[in-house]
Amino acid sequence: MKRKEIAWLIVGTVAVIALFFGADSQDRMGELSKRMEELGKKLEACGGNIECMKKVMAELQAVSAEYAKLAQAVSGTPLIPGQQESPTCENFFRPGWSCLPVKMTASYRNERKSFDSYCDPPGILPCNRREFVSFQSVYALTAEGNGILTYTKDFVEFQVFVRSALAKTRLTAFEGFKRWRTETPIGSGRYRFEQRNFPMGSCNVDIPAGLSIDFPAEEGAPTNVFFVPAHTRTTDDWYPTERGDNLGPTMHSEDAVSVEIVVPEAMRAAATSGRFVRTYRWRSLDTDGKSTSDNRLDLTLEIGEAPRDEPGVLAVSPGDGFSSSRTDPKKSFEPSSKIYTLRNAGKQALNYSVSKKADWLNLDTTAGSLGPGQSAAVTVSVNVPVADKLEEDTVKDTLAFTNTTDGNGNTSRPAELTVGEEQDWQVFLTGYEIDEMNPYWKITTKVRGAIRFDYKLRGEFTITKKKGKWQYKKGVITLADVGLSNLYEPLKVWLVKPLNCRNCSQVVNLKGTPLSGRVDGNEVRLFWGKKRPQVEVEAKIVVPCTPMPDCAQWKSRLFISEEFMDRINDVFLPLKHEGVVTPPKPIISPQGSRWISYTFILRRLK
């Protein structure tokens, strides 16, 4: 989850606490309320500084705990922040403020498109670059939820806070493709392009969407409407993002267009008519100036009518699937079973069913009934007599959990059984790429200007044997870092300002993302991704040079790590218990201005 979203969720929770129990009712509660708002802004200002965020979070938790204790004393009711999905007017009290219930219907759509380029024809300088669409996706959802509109007289101040119901937050589109070219040209000056599509079926919603509208608006903000799309998780290893990453950006964006500051007159009119309807569109541009993310939000708020009782809603936990394996015929399948808890999160009774197709799965319960708030346990287990007869392979099925009364909360979980040997491996990779600048000026001393990109990568992966052959199963990058070294020589010739890496974070953010791979015979080839860190260097010559005086002026030059990731993606590693793979000497580009070296250390975990 992104930093702004974390801050929003925390400030939202703080806002609900303040709304429920009246920050003005006691001086101390008022002081704590202001302090919590300040800490919410301070948390966002931390940027990516983890230590800063930890420190602010610790203080925020302490202040929130004291506020909650005071609030309990005022209301006589225990307060546990985060337990209530949506605030209600029934629990609202704040002197001088009024409250109206709000029902939200939202439709959100995000379309992303990224570009890459290649030399056509390859190997010819200067490079004639051609672009192609390397990634494209469409992500859309609908969300319904309840919340509150709170306001002072004449709407001088107001707040809208809504969270969608998880059972009514549904993906309506999730599809796209990733396209890449092979590194080895085929034929005469042509590349082979490959494409991998990813389907909607591999993605599930695990945290619902949220909306807030606050007035007075934050100074300088393009809008006071803040929409957070549903948080989603994908089980597709090929999807080029972190697992659990928000697939759509929030609306709180400096690139926002067609937006507004919702002013008191507009909200007063909406409360009078009972409806607030808006369509928002905004576009985000990547650092390359070409890749785009187009967004549209269609928002309807019904204000004033109390929400009706929800029907029965089926909630299933945990959210992950059932996966079991056996690497030795003499041993048991591990794990042999898994328990799922089915709960009725609605206000009316429901009937449910649980089903599967595979004979190697057993269910101890296939149907039942649940009253409001009731729960039931369903155990999924391996049918050992059937599984014993399976060949070495990985077989899959789907567990379907169905609300047979009204369909609210219907969901599914993947099931997977692996029969055959598996091996877990760890790989540690270090290496560098040097990008050298050819001399620009004539001076009496030999001059080199270069930047060295130093890489550290670590990953873990699993291979499994199917029908006598090893196959790649899964992997994850557990460490990713890139450092910079200044190789301007001799240093007495140059005056260099501090280095500024434009996008080194793209490498760091690989941590936790899938590590793809392929097994060929007794070798494995790993695909770490394709990132190209860029460093802008400002430098000037401080000794006599010609032509004068321009050669002694500050100049900016861009150094790029263009080939390192491509090179390491093309290395075949022997599957030995302990192995080291490194080129006998650094790889030198044909132009002689780029050096690359790497060292793989492969270790068998089990």
Task: Determine the pLDDT at residue 132.
Answer: 87
Distance of CA 550 to CAs 401, 437, 496, 555, Å? 73, 18, 16, 10
More confident residue, 73 or 276: 276
Which residues, other chains included, contact 446 with Cβ-Cβ below 8 Å and sequence gap of 6+? Answer: none
21: three-class secondary structure by DSSP: helix
Which pLDDT band, with edges at 50, 70 and 90, does 4 fall under? very low
Residue written as tokens 């400096």? 254
User: Global pTM?
Assistant: 0.41
15: three-class secondary structure by DSSP: helix
Query: Where is average pLDDT lowest: 110-119, 199-208, 286-295?
Result: 199-208
Task: Determine the pLDDT at residue 67.
Answer: 62
Which pLDDT band, with edges at 50, 70 and 90, does 251 fall under? very low
User: How far is the C-alpha of 543 from the C-alpha of 188, rounded, in Å?
Assistant: 49
Question: Per-residue pLDDT tens for 33-58?
Answer: 777 778 777 876 776 566 777 677 77
190 pLDDT above the threshold of 70: no
Question: Per-residue pLDDT tens for 554-594?
Answer: 878 888 998 999 999 999 999 987 889 999 888 887 766 78
Q: Per DSSP, what are the bridge partners of residue 39?
A: none
> Closest Cα partner for 457 from 429, 427, 431?
429
Q: Look over the chain and give the mean of its residue pLDDT values, rounded to a whole number.
A: 78
Max mean pLDDT among 235-239, 449-453, 541-545 falls in 449-453
Q: Based on C-alpha coordinates, what's the Rg of the chain?
A: 29
Please state, as a whole number, how many other Cβ atoms lie within 10 Å of the Cβ of residue 511.
16
User: How far is the C-alpha of 252 from the C-alpha of 224, rounded, in Å?
Assistant: 8
Task: Determine the pLDDT at residue 84.
Answer: 39
Task: Determine the pLDDT at residue 338.
Answer: 95
321 pLDDT above the threshold of 80: yes
Which residue type sits at 144?
Answer: E
User: How far is the C-alpha of 279 from the C-alpha of 295, rounded, in Å?
Assistant: 11
Q: Give the pLDDT mean for 58-86.
A: 52
Q: Give the pLDDT mean for 436-447.
A: 54
Task: Determine the pLDDT at residue 302.
Answer: 92
Please state, as a whole number, how many other Cβ atoms lie within 10 Å of the Cβ of residue 522.
11
Q: Give the pLDDT mean for 172-197.
A: 72
User: How far is the C-alpha of 313 from the C-alpha of 168, rounded, in Å?
Assistant: 9
Give percent of the chain with pLDDT exceeding 90. Answer: 29
Task: Determine the pLDDT at residue 456.
Answer: 96
346 pLDDT above the threshold of 50: yes
Task: Determine the pLDDT at residue 363.
Answer: 95
Query: Where is average pLDDT lowest: 90-94, 170-174, 314-318?
Result: 90-94
Query: What sign does the CA torsion over 317, 319, 320, 322 have?
Result: positive
188 pLDDT above the threshold of 60: no
User: How far is the C-alpha of 514 from the C-alpha of 241, rounded, in Å?
Assistant: 8
Task: Determine the pLDDT at residue 1.
Answer: 36
Task: Determine the pLDDT at residue 15.
Answer: 43
User: How far is the C-alpha of 169 from the C-alpha of 206, rounded, in Å?
Assistant: 9
More confident residue, 53 or 262: 262
283 pLDDT above the threshold of 90: no
In the sheet that 337-344 helps form, which strands lie side by side, from edge to edge?
314-317, 337-344, 375-382, 361-363
7 pLDDT above the threshold of 50: no
Q: Give the pLDDT mean for 240-250.
A: 35
Question: Per-residue pLDDT tens for 383-420?
Answer: 999 998 888 888 899 999 999 998 888 999 999 998 87
Q: Give the pLDDT mean for 188-209.
A: 70
